[in-house]
Chains A and B, each alone.
Chain A
Amino acid sequence: MTALVIIEGVVILLLAILVVGLLRSHADVLRALHELGVNPHERTPLGGAAGNFEIATRPGVPEPRAHADLGAHDIAGSTIDGGSAVVSVAGVDHTTLIAFLSSGCSTCADFWAAFEHGEADQIPGVSTRLVVVTQGPELESVSTLAELAAPGLTTVMSSEAWDDYGVPVSPYFVLVDGPSGRVAGEGAASSWPQVLDLLRKAVADGGMDLRPRRTRREFLTGSQREERADRELATAGIHPGHASLYPETLDDVEGDGDDD
């Protein structure tokens, strides 16, 4: 009984020390916030010199969007051939990477070249689609775009889309999660590998499902099934030419059963 009382006393003492430590830590945080000009109880910045500080990005780094609107907008505009197009990115079953490029910016040239060389096909996950969006024809050189845009690239000219997404600079990339219709990530990048790296992180952070959607042809022809069967047979030690693949009698087929 005495031992229990002693143990209980020790536990209470440890808890008391823990509470005191937390209160001190809390006081330190409040003091630091106060020195920065923030009064958490009033939820407004304090006046004075300390209250005039501003958070800013480093020079050369684009500012984040002023009013972050995380809702995605479908893209509608004209096409390089003089036609028009609408690309749905919200409420769809795939992820869309929107690349805001220009015909004039030098950094964009690297991306145009990368896409021409088929690097857009290496986007993580088969279910991620790429759409290149430039400003409208009134702000772009359509003839230059016709030379830059690869035939296999979905390219839409839409100043409205630039406004919808508040694009601060080009090149700029926005990743849209189709099922939720929300922007999963966005930012500027100077090279395509950098975009891919950011994309992988955004996908991992967001827990997004980028598993490939099986097409009807794949489902019907069973092209994936054949590969899977080969893989499972190899795992079981059955390779091309294995005797079990060429039974000559029913006993060969039912050999295992006979053994039992």
Chain B
Amino acid sequence: MSTNIESFGISVEVPDGWNGQIFRRPGDAGAQPQAVDEGDSSTFPVVHVGNFWLPAVRGDFGSGAVEQMSHDDVLVCLLEYEPEAASTALFAHEGIPRFTAGDFDPRTMQRSVAGMAGAQAFFRVNGRAFCVYAVVGSYARRSHLAPSVNRVLEGIEIG
């Protein structure tokens, strides 16, 4: 079972017992990501999905939430970038990626937290550029937790 949430052309199946949010930072209400002009102060959609309580105040890469994670917890962050980025080499991969246990590395954490590990990948879908960043609460249990990350990624659709 899962609950579907959808905003800004992004649909996410949030598994039962998990928490999720699709949001944009204040000041950009009403602007569609594809229609944002260059120089606009608008930010782009951010998706956070975790199997633990997500505090209301969080950074785009999950700061504020990561510190609350226990060893069985998982956090998936999806961040959209400006459309122009989709044509760059960094975002050349087409489609939402999946992670293996080997992709998770403590050095990939945005802010290092002992015992935890992160994985990051850049990609594009329908001309939209994205970064997916996932954190597992235990590097030692990354083989066990990576499938949970992929389960969330499989439930994401980008219009």
Contacts and interface: CB of A to CB of B under 8 A. Distances in A.
Given A81-B29, A82-B24, A215-B70, A76 B17 contact: no
Interface stretch (A8-16, A83-91, A243-251): A83-91
Interface residues of B, number: 35
Q: Provide the main secondary structure of the chain B interface.
A: loop
Contact of A83 (B8, B53, B54, B56): B8
Nearest to A82: B29
B159 interface: no
Interface in B21-69: 21-26, 29-30, 45, 53-57, 67-69
A91 B16 contact: yes
B13 to A, nearest CB: 10
Nearest to A181: B17
A134 interface: no
B143 interface: no
A216 B53 contact: no
B7 interface: yes
B7 A84 contact: yes
B87 interface: no
B6 A81 contact: no
Contact of B68 (A78, A91, A151, A215): A215
B5 A88 contact: no
A83 to B, nearest CB: 4
B71 interface: yes
Contacts of B16: 74, 88, 91
16 contacts: A74-B3, A82-B24, A83-B8, A83-B21, A83-B45, A84-B5, A84-B21, A85-B21, A86-B14, A88-B16, A92-B17, A152-B57, A154-B54, A154-B55, A216-B113, A217-B67
